[in-house]
Amino acid sequence: MNEGQQKFQAFILERTEDGRESAMKELLSESFKKQDSGDFDQMYLMAMVPKMVSYIREDKRDEVMEVVQKFGASHVSK
């Protein structure tokens, strides 16, 4: 995991609902592997984001979506 991925994971985990941290880590790990292998495409992003948001505390969802929209597209490889 590179430095940017570590920062993103820390940001997300701080906003994750209690008890959902393990599932979130798994989802992020899969996402980072896809980024690293060049398989992080728009279809994957569209499927992953709703699942990720469902793990986020309700009061933090808008903040997280703002960050995802700002940076998500820049990591799409295809």
CB-CB contact of 52 with 14 (8 Å): no
For residue 72, pLDDT beyond 80: no
Nearest to 73 by CA among 44, 53, 52: 44
Predicted local confidence at residue 42, as pLDDT? 86
Query: For residues 60, 46, 48 and 29, what is the CA-based torsion angle, rounded to 10 degrees?
Result: -110
Q: What is the pLDDT of residues 13-70, one digit of tens each?
A: 999 999 999 999 999 999 999 999 999 888 998 899 999 999 999 999 999 999 988 8
pLDDT classification of 73: cutoffs 50, 70, 90:
low
Phi/psi for 56 (5° steps) reads: -85, 145
- Token pair belonging to 39: 């398989």
3-class DSSP state of 16: strand
- Token pair belonging to 59: 């009061």
What are the residue boundaries of the structural domains of the chain, listed by start?
3-75
Predicted local confidence at residue 28, as pLDDT? 97
